[in-house]
Amino acid sequence: MSFFTELAQQYIDGEWRSGSGSWDIIDFNPYDGEKLASIPVATAAEVDQAYRAAERAQEAWAATNPYARRLVFERALRIIEDREQEITETIIAELGGTHLKAAFELHLAKEFLREAVQLSLRPEGRILPSPVDGKENRVYRLPVGVVGVISPFNFPFLLSIKSVAPALALGNAVVLKPHQNTPICGGSLVAKVFEDAGLPAGLLNVVITDIAEIGDALLEHPVPKAISFTGSDKVGRHVATVCAANFKRAILELGGNSALIVLEDADIDYAVDAAVFSRFVHQGQVCMAANRVLVDRKVEKEFTEKFVAKVKTLKVGDPKDPGTHIGPLINSTQADAVTALVDQTVEAGATALLHGSSEGNLVRPSVLTGLEADSPVLQQEIFGPVALIVPFDGEDEAVRIANDTPYGLSGAVHTGDIERGVRIAQRINTGMIHINDSTVHDEPIVPFGGEKHSGSGRLNGESMIEAFTTQKWISVQHGRSQFPF
């Protein structure tokens, strides 16, 4: 894989260079354990250099005609299209993503770049009336300046581009820190795409590092005015706290514990297909995944039998095999945690309709039911191939169970009556919910984000303008004001 040798470096102020830390971040293939790259870690000094480079480059970029800015994103899109096979192979190797997952990620990455092309031209100023005679109120929409982006390991290429491209399109500069398990897909590959697309030096910087080396330097640094973080709610809480203490804007896209609700009038076969995809896509390592499948008792038996039968058909194994549905989890820590969680839940009294075994980072699917209402597993995000089937009696109980979680990201309702589904969806405390579909969706122009512990702020479409720009009021007094003294 050429990317793993060519791009195993930091990217600061338009230069590819080694980090100066005393240890290396090792990039492993999660399926076979192959060492893909060894990258000397960036220090706090390099974080400072990256932010200072961004600060120097940003003013001229903001002043660049937005019609010229958008050409960079058009070229970046073409580069991804031209290198799609290489990028697919890199996603499979670094993430353990299947061919299906890689195609899904690349499709969305291209869609977000297409939106970034348009976003360059979207900000608008306003002239507002004043109660003062002769006064003109102008409200300008301006870039925030420099944005720090911290991306996760599950969809690193997409979720880096999702914040990086809009921030740049709106006239900002960016410092990007990818997850240490996906430094290439989430970091240096993104930098390479934009470098080759002609983005001026300094506007996008990538620091491959870890909090063990830099602490909170990325968050506390005085240059960035906004931090876009995607990851766990535990880390998100810390990011929010540090940002608040330093008067920075925090856009937080955090975890989920989504419920897919199957009502008694649903198309059962279709609901099964949607539920299996919603739970097991990318091994369940998706914030929008349907952790909990809530089924009306009137159709519980039929649904459960068909659900288990379909899960049994999923192929677990080498993600390079186009026929594989479920590849490895990202690392052994995650694989061990998911395996232990299933064992503990069964020991506590749950019924395992499927009890998946594990081998290395491969964890086979589990389907659990018979859970007590206060079972801890119902309250947490499970980043692995584990489905929980929970029966309910009637709409009110379905809504109560769906809302009985600290999270509120996504969800789905399956029913033969669309408006009934919408009424139920309106009662569920999530940022997003889908009628007769999966829980896993993202589109460039709809507001993406969650409630409760699932985050704050929104991304996509007009929400990007709110996230990465600020408003400035300039008043003009025509004639003379009258002052009281």
Question: Two tokens at 309?
Answer: 């039968």
Q: Please give the pLDDT value at position 288.
A: 98
Please enumerate in sequence order all residues whose Cβ is within 8 A of that of 245, keeping only pairs 6 or more positions apart, or say none: none
Question: 161 exposed, middle or buried (CB, 10 Å; 0-12, 13-18, 19+)?
Answer: buried
Q: Does CATH number 3.20.20.190 belong to domain 259-435?
A: no
Question: Two tokens at 247?
Answer: 């008067």
Rounded distance between C-alpha atoms, residue 7 and residue 182, angstroms: 12
Q: Does CATH number 3.40.980.10 belong to domain 2-254+454-473?
A: no
Q: Do the strands 135-143 and 126-128 form a parallel or antiparallel pair, or are they unpaired?
A: antiparallel
CB crowding 467-481: b at 16 or more within 10 Å, else e: bbbeeeeeeeeeeee
Question: Two tokens at 295?
Answer: 């089924």
Other CB atoms within 10 Å distance of the CB of residue 271:
25
- Residue 68 sits at the vertex; the CA angle it makes with 62 and 72, to the nearest 5 degrees, is 95
* Residue 148: closest CA among 285, 19, 50: 50
Query: What torsion do the CA atoms of 153, 223, 210, 441 make, to the nearest 10 degrees?
Result: -10
CB 276 within 8 Å of CB 311: yes
In whole angstroms, how far apart are CA 33 and each of 27, 28, 29, 94, 161? 9, 6, 5, 10, 27
If phi > 0 it is left, if psi is from -120 to 50 it is alpha, else beta; for residue 90 that is alpha
* Count of positions (residues) in the chain: 485
Q: Please give the pLDDT value at position 34.
A: 97
pLDDT tens digit at each of 485 positions of the chain: 489 999 999 999 999 999 999 999 999 999 999 999 999 999 999 999 999 999 999 999 999 999 999 999 999 999 999 999 999 999 999 999 999 999 999 999 999 999 999 999 999 999 999 999 999 999 999 999 999 999 999 999 999 999 999 999 999 999 999 999 999 999 999 999 999 999 999 999 999 999 999 999 999 999 999 999 999 999 999 999 999 999 999 999 999 999 999 999 999 999 999 999 999 999 999 999 999 999 999 999 999 999 999 999 999 999 999 999 999 999 999 999 999 999 999 999 999 999 999 999 999 999 999 999 999 999 999 999 999 999 999 999 999 999 999 999 999 999 999 999 999 999 999 999 999 999 999 999 999 999 999 999 999 999 999 999 999 999 999 999 989 99
CATH 3.40.309.10-classified regions of the chain: 259-435
If phi > 0 it is left, if psi is from -120 to 50 it is alpha, else beta; for residue 398 that is alpha
**Beta-strand runs (E) in 272-385:** 292-296, 351-354, 358-359, 362-363, 366-369
CB 268 within 8 Å of CB 301: no
The Cβ-side half-sphere exposure at 372, using a 13 Å CA radius, reads: 8
DSSP 236-270: HHHHHHHHHHTT-EEEEE-----EEEE-TTS-HHH
What SS3 state is found at 475?
A: strand
Rounded distance between C-alpha atoms, residue 380 and residue 256, angstroms: 8
Axis crossing angle, helix 99-119 with helix 66-82, rounded to the nearest 10: 160
* Residue 274: closest CA among 254, 286, 289: 289
**Beta-strand runs (E) in 67-216:** 126-128, 135-143, 146-150, 173-177, 204-206
DSSP 81-92: HHTHHHHHHHHH
Catalytic residue numbers read 253, 287
- Residue 189 sits at the vertex; the CA angle it makes with 45 and 40, to the nearest 5 degrees, is 35
What single letter denotes the amino acid at residue 350? A
Q: Please give the pLDDT value at position 32.
A: 96
CATH 3.40.605.10-classified regions of the chain: 2-254+454-473
Rounded distance between C-alpha atoms, residue 294 and residue 202, angstroms: 49
Question: Two tokens at 20?
Answer: 């100066």
Q: Please give the pLDDT value at position 2.
A: 80
DSSP 275-292: HHHHHHGGGG--TT--SE
Rounded distance between C-alpha atoms, residue 258 and residue 432, angstroms: 10
What single letter denotes the amino acid at residue 257? N
Rounded distance between C-alpha atoms, residue 40 and residue 17, angstroms: 10
* pTM of the entire predicted model: 0.96
